Structure 1
Amino acid sequence: MKEGPDIALTASLIGDPARANMLVALMDGRALTATELATEAGVTKQTASTHLARLVEGQLLTREVQGRHHYFRLTGSDVGAVLEALMGISAHRTGHRARPGPRDPALRYARVCYDHLAGEIGVTLFDRAKALGWMSNGEASLKLSNSGRLALTRFGLDMDELESQRRPVCRSCLDWSMRRHHLAGGLGKALLQEIFKKGWARRLPDSRVVAFSTAGKSEMLDWLNLASKPSPGS
């Protein structure tokens, strides 16, 4: 007897090669048009429209209309997390695509996973945060500690605003290239935005790659190392 949600339906939506390419193209959190997604999938606009209608109906994508243009984006970070995990399974069992491209090493180092930082440097950030005691595994999810909240406030994050959102503050996401976890949730998003704000890194145009400057990488690692030291007068 079948119990629980119908995972076969969702799996079938993701499992089609054209639809899978469309979903992966939206992994950087952008909204793209049907024409752009048709190019990503290697299909005609008419075929793309059929695929997109199914993805919207299956609640994997949401449609936004601005004038004559229809834009599509992932419905949320949970869809991005599923895609990231599937990419990890696929890389382990079936290898990479035939055309990984020159940016593949850069994607492995640092990239956007929907709206948070992934790749080698994302995993390093998450590991260091846990080592510093900023968060711990709770019964159902990660929990932010008082020391973590204080350190992140000093870093420049508005923790009151972050904790008032309906989205979980801390979540882990399985990194496809590292096969370990990086930080997702509202905190993962806020940290990446602050990294951009400080000028430590930038998004490459039309890419998921996050390019850290030499100085930016050094400053971030210095921040994580110095965060473990008590502040003057404490």
Structure 2
Amino acid sequence: MNPNIAKVASLLSDPTRSSILLSLMDGRIHPAGELAYFAKIKPQTASFHLHKLLEAQLISVEKHGRHRYYKLANADAAKVIEQLLSISPDSKVKSFNDSKEKSDLHFARTCYDHLAGYIGVQVTHSLVEQGFLRKADLQYEVTSEGSLFLKDFGVDEEKQRNKRRAFALCCLDWSERQHHLAGALGHALLDRMLEQQWIVRMPKTRAIKVTQSGKAAFEHYFKLSI
């Protein structure tokens, strides 16, 4: 039996459900009330849409006592959303706040569980240009020099390879129209940057801000002046 593409497409075509899914692209878990706020709908309406998305296995839910927290089902769901964004027309900017948010998202953001936007693409380019990664079709291979870099950077390469997911994938960046690093390795790099507070998450958005110490780290590791 063929997969029911039409059912998934119809779910994604709804603006409210699209807003919810985009909110979950930060890779974190969110309560229904917060997702309702992001989508500008009532909590009861959000519950209806979340139920539909759960049925389609686009999202998953964690129960903690009386509370429920939602997240994207997996990296595959995030990849589909990112690819749809890459072929979608830009929405019109209606205010200064809209313009600022759009600029922040284009500069640096999370794409589910890895770094995206201008910074994400430039980091990936740097790893390739320095000979740490080698692009092979739609994946990246870590070179021997890259293994040394990852050790120095504080990433356990073997641990990431042993995870039950793709190791180093090319993910098409919707705003840059170029590839950035995804997969277990992309996730590990993002985690390390957050852990060291080289980057910090911005509130109520999946945009990322580079800190002062982060600017020095990006210059040192990736030869990027920010």
Q: TM-score, normalised by structure 1?
A: 0.86
Of 119, 122, 125, which aligns to 2:120?
Answer: 122
Structure 2 stretches lacking a partner, 5+ long:
none
What is the root-mean-square deviation in Å for CA atoms of aligned residues? Answer: 2.0
State the SS of the aligned residue for 1:26: helix
Contact 2:78 2:112 (8 Å CA) reproduced? yes
**Cα distance, 1:140 vs structure 2:** 6.4
Once the two structures are superposed, the pairs formed by residues 28-39 of structure 1 within 5 Å of their partners are 28-39=26-37
SS at match of 2:61: strand
Which has the larger displacement, 206-215 or 16-25?
206-215
- List structure 1 runs of 4+ shifted beyond 4 angstroms: none
1:112 is matched with which residue?
A: 110
2:176 to 175, 178, 193: 178
- Contact kept, 8 Å, 2:138 with 2:170, in 1: the verdict is no
Q: Which residue of 1 aligns with 2:91?
A: 96
Q: Partners in 2 of 1:219 and 1:68 — Cα distance?
A: 42
Shift of 1:79: 1.4
Could you give the per-residue CA deviations for residues 205-234 of structure 1, whole angstroms, max 9, x where no partner exists? 3321211124422321222249xxxxxxxx
- Could you tell me how far 1:49 is from its partner in structure 2? 1.6
Structure with greater Cα Rg: 1
Report the counterpart of residue 16 of structure 1 in structure 2.
14
In the alignment, structure 1 segments of 5+ residues that lack a partner are 227-234
Matched with 1:145 is 143
Instruction: Tell whether 2:41 aligns with 1:43.
Output: yes
- Going from structure 1 to structure 2, the CA distance change for 1:201 and 1:69 (only over 3 Å counts) comes to same
Q: By how many angstroms is 1:199 displaced? A: 2.7
One-letter amino acid matched to 1:221: E
Q: Residue 95 of structure 1 aligns to which amino acid in structure 2?
A: D
1:155 to 146, 150, 153: 153
Query: CA, structure 1 residues 38+215, in 2 after alignment: closer, same or farther (shift >3 Å)?
Result: closer
Pairwise CA distance, 1:66: 1.0
Deviation at 1:189, TM superposition (A): 0.9
Matches within 5 A, 1:61-72: 61-72=59-70
Cα deviations across residues 156-184 of structure 1 (Å, max 9, x unaligned)? 11112111111111011111111111111
Q: Tell me which residue corresponds to 2:219.
A: 221
8 A contact 2:20–2:38 mirrored in 1: yes
Instruction: Give the aligned residue type for 1:222.
Output: H
Structure 2 partner of 1:231: none
Deviation at 1:43, TM superposition (A): 2.7
> Over residues 81-120 of structure 1, what are the superposed CA-to-partner deviations in whole Å (9 max), with x where a residue is unaligned?
2212212211xxx322444342221111111111111111
Among the aligned pairs, what percent are the same residue?
A: 39
